[in-house]
């Protein structure tokens, strides 16, 4: 097997959460909110091989973006480490570090938030490759023009500012900008979430074409299982900072093991498979400030039993390329049935 | 039975510096009692402005320039601002994508709900509080009595949206207009809210206009669907019929563009091109630059055709065997 491109090894990231402005105001009115520590990413192991498209799914606040950032090397871990081509990011120095930084690029949901509104497209895309000596000063314009053409933007747009573009066009600018430094890994964080279905299809096709053309590797963060199923080679499901299941899309959809994954798949709204009845799982996503003990999912899990409330389940192999973290893995089929029946009573 | 809502030839325009922007252009539809109608379309197609027009919430430079909006038979466009305020909130309620459009961050949820009750009904504070508590319970908020004293920021996004729904339910309106209320939420939470809304609409006999750009959500929730493009409704009909046998090329284009429409890993099939700028729409059918079926005649205005409970505006609609 080839060597991994990037790996998270027991990686954790904690934030001590300060009160925001609105919460401070709420406190003036007696809300009594306090500062707390959030385990945004809690002991995650994730290996991404060159050329793979790995999807990262899970509910809002479960730590997808944080994991994406630490794997892209733009945010340090609190514990554990991230390895780039086998080397710990913390150990990278000088040129090696710079090269890594360029090799991993992030593409966000709202490209406006990362595009400087006072810069023209030519500079937004052309600056980094010029600074890093990827292209010579007088060749920048041609280089940028070839990139914008590649992502489906007319070269006549080079002298415009970002606000003069639609959401889909701005996303193309963001992609061209990432490509300009010849990356190996693209971390796409909800990159198509804000787009209408037709524009979303255009951008997803572009991602897939670029993968073939430039041999790119993707970590594709999305809350949309339909999108992830379509384009990913492997899907990783997170819940409250932890990986709870990972498998190929076909295996995950046909044979989900974790009760949370099962709920996600069941509740996915779909046009082709119309369903008039909703059977939602109960309960709210718990606050990451006070994650439930044991299995984080137990307060919402229809199959929870005593052990789930006290012991954290570890990831175990369910089959080739399929792992999940659920205590039901340790029970035989009949025991599983009984455990489920007990809670149903 | 008279419909709850009958919108006739509604046009809402924005008088911008660069010209007249026809956000909503000659839109007609009805919503029957207890009916759930989904309004779908790309961003900028006029969905929200349609909703705002019904509620009289269009601000200058926007203006309803033509049409009638009959609510239980009365034209809302002819009503006095006072009468309109009574209708809004009491008989028609709106739920927005961002629940903070409804909620005030510095007031406890209970205070806001009690004020909403007392704005339209002369009841004691204790009774208003009891009604607020019951409404929170109805939308699935645990320990509603205690939660009345919480502030919006002490709720998660999904919970806040439930509170906004509870507020919309306080007066048991005849019609709720919901503008992408689950778009920002996760699938499991979205599913809970769709489940509750569907149950409550049936229980209280409310009609619902559900605005969304997610065909999957509308497919699961609505009885009827209306597809909007460039300020117009281009197709409308029963959900099952429209989604399985679309007549308008734009509807079929939207359906083909979703990932599930092609085998895994194969290229998706987007609609070619982009929605026209609302200030410079082509004459005739606004979809014609992007339509594979377009011919010369499409440069003239396609009239509304009504056949077997289906409405569409197209010269060359898809034909299905039964049709
Ligand atoms: N800079 C930060 N400071 C404090 N807390 C943070 C910070 N960044 C993230 N968090 C917290 O860490 C947790 C995980 O956040 P993250 O942004 O990774 O979630 P996510 O899965 O990407 O969610 P979404 O789907 O909403 O984008 C959340 O509880 C979040 O509030
Ligand atoms: N306040 C405003 N001023 C000018 N144009 C507006 C205003 N609000 C909306 N529009 C325009 O009206 C059209 C329809 O908008 P909207 O109803 O919000 O679309 P949707 O909800 O379908 O995304 C868009 O072209 C939009 O840019
Ligand atoms: S470990 Fe227990 S609570 Fe967690 S998912 Fe499995 S059965 Fe449910
Ligand atoms: S009227 Fe013509 S251009 Fe418009 S949708 Fe029909 S065939 Fe296409
Ligand atoms: Mg995120
Ligand atoms: Mg809108």
Mean pLDDT throughout A226-234? 94
- Output the 3-class SS for chain B: CCCCEEEEEEEEEEEECCEEEEEEEEEEEEECCCCEEEEECCCCCCHHHHHHHHCCCCCCCEEEEEEEEEECCEEHHHCCHHHHHHHHHHCEEEECCCHHHCCCCCCCHHHHHHHHHHHHCCCCHHHHHHHHHHHHHHCCCCCHHHHCCCCHHHCCHHHHHHHHHHHHHCCCCCEEEEECCCCCCCHHHHHHHHHHHHHHHHHHCCEEEEEECCHHHHHHHCCEEEEEECCEEEEEEEHHHHHHCCCCHHHHHHHHHCHHHCCCCCCCCCCCCCCCCCCCCCCCCCCHHHCCCCCHHHHCCCCEEEECCEEEECCCCCCCCCC
CB B176, CB B139: distance < 8 Å: no
Q: Whose CA is nearest to atom 12 of ligand 1?
A: A40
Q: Whose CA is nearest to atom 6 of ligand 4?
A: B314
B259 with A23: Cβ contact below 8 A: no
* pLDDT bucket at A17, cuts 50 / 70 / 90: low
What span, in angstroms and rounded, lies between the C-alpha atoms of A174 and B124?
56
User: Please, what is the angle between helix A167-179 and helix A121-131, to 10°?
Assistant: 10
Question: For A232, which residue in chain B has the nearest alpha carbon?
Answer: B265
- Which residues in B215-237 are b (16+ Cβ under 10 Å) and which e? bbbbbbbbbbbbbbbbbbbbbbb
What span, in angstroms and rounded, lies between the C-alpha atoms of A333 and A195?
43
Which pLDDT value is given to residue A91?
A: 92
Which pLDDT value is given to residue B188?
A: 76
Domain for residue A29, yes or no?
A: yes
Per-residue CA distances from A208 to A136, A231, A240, B67, B186 (Å): 29, 8, 30, 47, 25
Domain for residue A308, yes or no?
A: no
Mean pLDDT throughout A238-242? 94
B151 with A29: Cβ contact below 8 A: yes
Domain for residue A253, yes or no?
A: yes
Per-residue CA distances from B17 to B14, B24, B61 (Å): 9, 18, 10
**How many Å from the N-terminal Cα to the C-terminal Cα in chain B?**
28
What span, in angstroms and rounded, lies between the C-alpha atoms of A303 and A77?
33
What span, in angstroms and rounded, lies between the C-alpha atoms of B141 and B158?
10
- Whether A264 has its CB under 8 Å from any CB of chain B: the answer is yes
Atom of ligand 3 minimally distant from the CA of A327: 1
Which pLDDT value is given to residue A343?
A: 42
CA B239 to chain centre: 15
Q: Whose CA is nearest to atom 8 of ligand 2?
A: B49
Domain for residue A123, yes or no?
A: no
In A, which residues are within 8 Å of B292 by CB distance? Answer: none
User: Is pLDDT above 80 for A223?
Assistant: yes
Q: Which two tokens stand for residue B149?
A: 């004293």
- A280 → closest Cβ in B42, B188, B214: B188
Q: CATH number for the domain including A170?
A: 3.40.50.300
| Ligand with the closest atom to the CA of A69 | 1
For ligand 1, is residue A288 a contact (CB within 6 Å)? yes
How much distance in Å is there from the Cα of A159 to the middle of ligand 5? 31
A200 with B257: Cβ contact below 8 A: yes
Which pLDDT value is given to residue A344?
A: 38
The DSSP code for A86 is T
Which pLDDT value is given to residue A278?
A: 64
Which pLDDT value is given to residue B179?
A: 92
- Whether A198 has its CB under 8 Å from any CB of chain B: the answer is yes
What span, in angstroms and rounded, lies between the C-alpha atoms of A50 and A85?
9
User: Is pLDDT above 50 for A345?
Assistant: no
| Ligand with the closest atom to the CA of A314 | 3
Which pLDDT value is given to residue B138?
A: 85
- Whether B42 has its CB under 8 Å from any CB of chain A: the answer is yes
DSSP lists the bridge partners of residue B63 as: B13
Q: Phi-psi bin for A328: left (phi > 0), alpha (psi -120 to 50), beta? A: alpha
A280 with B154: Cβ contact below 8 A: no
Q: Which of A223-232, A271-280, B109-118, B209-218 is predicted least confidently?
A: A271-280
- Whether B263 has its CB under 8 Å from any CB of chain A: the answer is no
Among residues A334, A337, A340, the alpha carbon closest in space to that of A308 is found at A340
Hey, how many other C-beta atoms are within 10 angstroms of the C-beta on A266? 16
Which pLDDT value is given to residue A277?
A: 61
In B, which residues are within 8 Å of A51 by CB distance? Answer: none
- Our count of domains for chain A comes to 1
CA distance B192 to chain A (A): 5
What residue spans of chain A are helical by DSSP H? 21-28, 64-71, 94-103, 121-131, 140-150, 167-179, 197-214, 225-231, 249-254, 259-266, 333-344
Of chain A, the percentage scoring pLDDT greater than 90 comes to 61
Among residues A170, A226, A232, A229, the alpha carbon closest in space to that of A207 is found at A232
Q: Which domains, from first to last, does chain B contain?
A: 5-231 (3.40.50.300)
Reported as a single tens digit per residue, the pLDDT across A77-135 is 999 999 999 999 999 999 999 999 999 999 987 766 777 889 999 999 999 999 999 99
Domain that holds residue A200: 6-118+161-264
Reported as a single tens digit per residue, the pLDDT across A241-261 is 999 999 999 999 999 999 999
Average pLDDT, chain A: 87
Domain for residue A82, yes or no?
A: yes
Which pLDDT value is given to residue B141?
A: 84
B105 with A22: Cβ contact below 8 A: yes
Exposed/middle/buried for residue A118 (C-beta within 10 Å: 0-12, 13-18, 19+): exposed
Domain for residue A276, yes or no?
A: no
Mean pLDDT throughout A251-276? 83
Q: Are strands A87-88 and A79-84 parallel, antiparallel or unpaired?
A: antiparallel
Q: Whose CA is nearest to atom 5 of ligand 2?
A: B14
Q: Which residue has the tokens 């961003």?
A: B43
Of chain A, the percentage scoring pLDDT greater than 70 comes to 92
What span, in angstroms and rounded, lies between the C-alpha atoms of A144 and A117?
18
Domain for residue A302, yes or no?
A: no
pLDDT tens digits in sequence order for chain B, 323 residues long: 789 999 999 999 999 888 899 999 999 999 999 999 999 998 889 999 999 999 999 999 999 999 999 999 999 999 999 999 999 989 999 998 888 888 999 999 999 999 999 999 999 999 999 999 999 988 888 788 989 999 998 887 888 988 999 999 999 999 999 998 887 777 777 888 888 888 889 999 999 999 998 888 899 899 999 999 999 999 999 999 999 999 999 999 999 999 989 998 899 999 998 888 788 888 899 999 999 999 999 999 999 999 888 999 999 999 987 54
User: Is pLDDT above 90 for A266?
Assistant: no
Q: Which two tokens stand for residue A35?
A: 């500062």
Domain for residue A174, yes or no?
A: yes
CA distance A188 to chain B (A): 17
In A, which residues are within 8 Å of B265 by CB distance? Answer: 230-231
Which pLDDT value is given to residue B323?
A: 46
How much distance in Å is there from the Cα of A216 to the middle of ligand 1? 26
Which pLDDT value is given to residue A342?
A: 43
Mean pLDDT throughout A226-255? 95
């Amino acid at each position: 097997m080839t060597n991994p491109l990037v790996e998270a090894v027991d990686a954790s990231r904690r934030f001590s959460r300060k009160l925001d402005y609105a919460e401070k105001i709420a406190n003036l009115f007696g809300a009594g909110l306090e500062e707390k520590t959030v385990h945004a990413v809690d002991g995650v192991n994730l290996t991404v091989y060159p050329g793979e498209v790995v999807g990262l799914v899970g509910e809002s606040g479960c730590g997808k973006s944080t994991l994406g950032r630490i794997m892209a090397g733009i945010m340090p871990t609190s514990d554990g480490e991230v390895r780039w081509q086998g080397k710990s990011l913390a150990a990278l120095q000088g040129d090696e570090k710079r090269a890594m930084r360029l090799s991993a690029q992030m593409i966000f949901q709202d490209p406006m938030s990362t595009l400087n509104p006072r810069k023209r497209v030519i500079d937004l895309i052309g600056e980094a490759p010029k600074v890093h000596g990827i292209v010579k000063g007088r060749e920048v314009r041609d280089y940028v023009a070839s990139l914008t053409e590649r992502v489906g933007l007319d070269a006549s747009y080079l002298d415009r500012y970002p606000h003069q573009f639609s959401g889909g066009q701005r996303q193309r600018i963001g992609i061209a900008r990432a490509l300009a430094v010849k990356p190996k890994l693209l971390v796409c964080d909800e990159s198509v979430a804000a787009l209408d279905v037709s524009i979303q299809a255009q951008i997803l096709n572009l991602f897939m074409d670029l993968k073939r053309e430039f041999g790119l590797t993707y970590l594709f963060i999305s809350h949309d299982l339909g999108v992830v199923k379509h384009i990913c080679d492997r899907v990783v499901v997170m819940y409250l900072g932890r990986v709870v299941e990972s498998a190929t899309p076909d295996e995950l959809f046909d044979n989900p093991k974790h009760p949370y994954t099962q709920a996600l798949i069941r509740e996915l709204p779909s046009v082709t498979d119309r369903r008039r009845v909703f059977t939602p799982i109960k309960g709210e996503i718990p606050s990451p400030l006070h994650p439930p003990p044991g299995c984080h999912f137990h307060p919402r899990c229809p199959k929870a039993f005593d052990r789930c409330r006290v012991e954290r389940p570890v990831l175990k192999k369910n089959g080739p390329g399929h792992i999940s973290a659920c205590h039901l893995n340790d029970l035989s089929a009949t025991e599983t049935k009984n455990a489920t029946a007990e809670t149903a009573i | 039975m008279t419909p709850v809502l009958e919108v006739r030839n509604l046009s809402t325009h924005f008088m911008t510096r660069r010209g007249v922007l026809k956000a909503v252009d000659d839109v007609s539809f009805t919503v029957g009692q207890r009916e759930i109608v989904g309004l779908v379309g790309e961003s900028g197609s006029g969905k929200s402005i349609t909703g705002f027009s019904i509620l009289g919430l269009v601000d200058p430079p926007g203006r309803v320039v033509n049409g009638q909006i009959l609510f239980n038979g009365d034209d809302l466009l002819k009503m006095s601002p006072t009468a309109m305020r009574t209708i809004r909130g009491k008989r028609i309620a709106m739920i927005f994508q961002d629940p903070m459009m409804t909620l005030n961050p510095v007031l406890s949820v209970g205070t806001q709900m009690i004020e909403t009750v007392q704005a339209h009904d002369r009841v004691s504070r204790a009774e208003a509080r009891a009604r607020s508590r019951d409404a929170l319970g109805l939308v699935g908020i645990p320990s509603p009595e205690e939660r009345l004293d919480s502030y919006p920021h002490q709720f998660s996004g999904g919970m806040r949206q439930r509170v906004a729904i509870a507020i919309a339910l306080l007066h048991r309106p005849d019609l709720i207009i919901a503008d992408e209320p689950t778009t920002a939420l996760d699938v499991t939470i979205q599913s809970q809210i769709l489940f509750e809304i569907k149950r409550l609409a049936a229980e209280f006999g409310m009609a619902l206009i559900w605005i969304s750009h997610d065909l999957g959500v509308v497919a699961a929730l609505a009885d009827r669907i209306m597809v909007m493009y460039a300020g117009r409704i281009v197709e409308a009909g029963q959900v099952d019929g429209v989604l399985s046998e679309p007549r308008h090329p734009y509807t079929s284009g939207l359906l083909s563009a979703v990932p599930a429409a092609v085998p895994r890993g194969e290229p998706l099939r987007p609609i070619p091109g982009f929605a026209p700028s609302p200030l410079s729409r082509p004459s005739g059918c606004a979809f014609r630059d992007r339509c594979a079926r377009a011919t010369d005649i499409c440069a003239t205005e396609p009239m509304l055709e009504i056949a077997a409970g289906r409405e569409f505006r197209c010269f060359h609609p898809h034909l299905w065997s039964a049709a």
